[in-house]
Amino acid sequence: MTHAPPSRSETTAPSTAAVADAPDLSEGWGEQRGRLHKDLRRLDVLFFLICTLVGLDTIGSVAAQGPQGLTWMAILAVAFFLPYGLLVAELGSAFPVQGGPYVWTRLAFGRLTAGINQILYWISNPVWVGGSLCIIALTTWEEFFTPLPGVWKYAAGLVFIWGGALAVVQSVRIGKWVPIAGAIARIVLLGFFLVSVVVFAVEHGVHTLPADEFAPTYVGFVALVPVLIFNFVGFELPSSAAEEMKNPRRDIPLSILRSGLASLVLYGGPILGILFVLPSQDIGSLGGFIDACKAVFTVYGGSIAADGTVTLTGAGSVFGGIAAAGLIIGLLTSGVTWAMGAHRAQAVACADGAGPAWLGAISEKHGTPVRVNLLSAVLASLLFVVALNLSGGDGEKYFAAGLGLTICTTFISYVITFPSLVVLRRKYPDVTRPYAVPGGRAGAWLVTALATGFVAFTVVVLIWPGFGVGWFGTEGSAAASLPEAFAGERLQYTLSQVVPLLLFLVIGLIFYALGAKTRRAKG
């Protein structure tokens, strides 16, 4: 049995004709749906995904692990990135509904599980924006422009957060230009950096990369798997705005393929460039990309002192400032693009009774979940101020804790969402699947096992860095796998991950309780 592709009036989550016998969403979402603006075309979705996948905050973290980072990147591209892309392409084209990941999980495992899971997926965005994105943006500003002493650092961070919030609340017709600008900024910035590396190499030579340093090790794997896989995720975000697309069934799979290939090139090239320019021992997780930019731009004007200090002058200083602005724009648009997807899914969850109904409202003027957007900005601001105080202004410590928590929170939600593929194949076998994972049932189970297994393992090594290192007589020390800023402070680091995670779960239960009125009204 097959079904024709649904019309716009049919493409609301589980009430669509294509999702046969699925439970309906609440009446509240039916009322909000008419406020959406259908303005996303295929090229918009492609730029959206490039902006989502190519995050500039983790390039330094990968390069800091040396050449084997590229080896593990290639391995995970096949073992995780490909299966994950296949999985989301099927779910996104078979169930092209607003709220994407929430609805898939809701159909597979019920409203309670999906609602709590969605809280983790949504709240990771303000943690990320107020955490690693903000601190890299501030570090970049101080490196290329002027120091931010005292209250100025707080002011600059809040401008970064609320500037992004202003972009997120705009209608999709206007808001889609943010990921477009972000994708273009990435292509231009990373392309110019690679050209500059070539010029630098011609004038000064490059650091040799011995073949044995490309050999993959388990120690390197547990250090790299969180940031590498975090670099590879985000395919599901456009599906959260599926009912704002012109043709989601066609555009989602094609955009996943094209953006996936583009992201591999845009990541691999700069990482290799950093390794050529900077000695491996001098590459930091926070400032690796920033330091490499400064070093290569000396070819346009500037010098590198014997102790490694870089001074940019003339054209080098100009190009450095432009690149710094591009990097900050890239960071901001990363947060905005993820917010555009995660916030929409959270609004659908709230309108469905998995959260307070007032958060599920869609603005009549903008066609976006303004209330969720503003709440996220408030949370990001609070997290930024609190974390900056708790870390004593230590940027590296703040960055490590914030990035770890962002990845951990997002990946726990994936552990629940990814198995939806095999469950929905069983529960809704007659739903039209414009794209299906090849290999039948075995293929679906294989990609689900690989994608879910990797994100689950990542959660473990984030909470307990060095998991498995030194076991059974193997080389290495688990303590050495802790972020450098938390050296000798395993308990402090683990608490920085576990305590917020427990708090987020409590928030999820509170949200679900606040949705009781909506669930009762539905009967």
Is the predicted pLDDT of residue 12 greater than 70, yes or no?
no
Q: Distances from the Cα of 65 to the Cαs of 107, 213, 421, in angstroms? A: 41, 10, 34
Write the pLDDT tens digit of every residue in 109-130: 999 999 999 999 999 999 888 8
Q: Per-residue DSSP letters for 207-244?
A: ----GGGGS--HHHHHHHHHHHHHHT--TTGGGGGGGG
DSSP assignment of 46-58: HHHHHHHH--TTS
Give the pLDDT band (50/70/90) at residue 29: low
Tens digit of each residue's pLDDT (9 = 90 or more) over 366-384: 878 889 999 999 999 998 8
Q: What is the pLDDT of residue 13?
A: 39
pLDDT at 34 (0 to 100): 67
Give pLDDT tens digits for 233-245: 888 888 887 777 7
Beta bridge partners of 311: 303
Backbone φ/ψ region at 245: left (φ over 0), alpha (ψ -120 to 50), beta: beta
Label residue 507 exposed, middle or buried (CB < 10 Å: 0-12, 13-18, 19+). middle
The whole-number average pLDDT for the span 178-187 is: 86
pLDDT for res 504:
93
Task: Report the alpha-carbon distance of residue 346 to residue 98 in Å, rounded.
Answer: 10
Identify the helix (H) or strand (E) that includes residue 496. helix 490-514
Alpha-carbon torsion (410, 252, 368, 167), positive or negative: positive
Which residue bears the tokens 């601190």? 135
- Residue 10's φ and ψ, nearest 5 degrees, are -95, -10
What are the DSSP E strand ranges found in 309-391? 310-312
The whole-number pLDDT of residue 23 equals 43
Tell me the DSSP string of 277-321.
Answer: HS-GGG--TTTHHHHHHHHHGGGGSEEE-TTS-EEE-HHHHHHHH
d(CA 260, CA 235): 9
Pairwise CA distance, residues 205 & 62, whole Å: 22
pLDDT of residue 173: 80
More confident site: 73 or 470: 73
Asked whether 108 and 131 are in contact (CB, 8 A), the reply is no
User: What mean pLDDT is predicted for residues 382-390?
Assistant: 79
Check the CA dihedral 69-268-132-327 and report its sign.
Answer: positive
Alpha-carbon span 483 to 490, nearest angstrom: 9
Cα gap 160→138, rounded to integer Å: 9
pLDDT for 158 equals: 93
For 440-483, the DSSP string reads HHHHHHHHHHHHHHHHHHHHHHHHSTTTTTTGGG-SS-GGGGS-
Average pLDDT, the chain: 82
pLDDT tens string 448-479: 999 999 999 999 988 888 787 777 666 777 77
| Residues 430/185, Cβ–Cβ less than 8 Å | no
Tens digit of each residue's pLDDT (9 = 90 or more) over 254-311: 788 778 888 787 777 778 877 777 666 555 555 567 777 888 888 898 887 777 777 8
Give the CA count within 13 Å in the CB-facing half-sphere of 411. Answer: 29
pLDDT at position 279, please? Answer: 64
pLDDT category of residue 7 using cuts at 50, 70 and 90:
very low
Nearest to residue 84, comparing CAs of 466, 448, 406?
448
DSSP state of 454: H
Confidence of residue 31 (pLDDT cuts 50, 70, 90): low
Average pLDDT value for residue range 394-409: 78
**Is residue 17 pLDDT above 60, yes or no?**
no
Phi, psi of 312 (to 5 degrees): -100, 140
Model pLDDT, residue 6? 39
Give the bridge partners for 245, in sequence order: 40
3-state helix, strand, coil in the chain (%, to 5): 75, 0, 25
Evaluate whether 197 touches 276 at the Cβ level (below 8 Å): yes
The residue behind tokens 């009762």 is 520
C-alpha–C-alpha distance, residues 403 and 422, integer Å: 30
Joined together, the tokens standing for residue 228 give 């590498």
Neighbours of 516 (CB within 10 A): 11
Comparing 225 with 64, the larger pLDDT belongs to 225
CATH fit for domain 39-522, picks 3.40.630.30, 1.20.1440.230, 3.40.1010.10, 1.20.1740.10: 1.20.1740.10
Q: Are 121 and 366 in contact (CB under 8 A)?
A: no
- Pull the structure tokens for residue 449: 């096992």
Question: How confident is the model at residue 1, as a pLDDT?
Answer: 36
489 vs 499, which has greater pLDDT? 499
Question: Is pLDDT larger for residue 313 or for residue 473?
Answer: 313
> 386 Cβ partners below 8 Å, 6+ apart?
none
Residues shown for the chain:
523
Q: Return d(Cα 402, Cα 394) in angstroms, integer.
A: 12
Q: Which two tokens stand for residue 45?
A: 């979705």
| Of the candidates 356, 353, 352, 386, the residue with the CA atom closest to the CA atom of residue 371 | 356
Tell me: the pLDDT tens digits for 139-165?
888 888 888 888 888 999 999 999 989
Average pLDDT over residues 4-26: 41
Considering the entire predicted model, what is its pTM?
Answer: 0.84
Q: Write the burial class of residue 442 (CB in 10 Å: 0-12 exposed, 13-18 middle, 19+ buried).
A: exposed
* Three-class SS state of 490: helix
Q: Which of 334, 319, 297 minimizes the C-alpha distance to 136?
A: 334
The residue written with tokens 């395919």 in the block is: 235
- Residue 44 and residue 176 in contact, taking contact as beta carbons nearer than 8 Å: yes
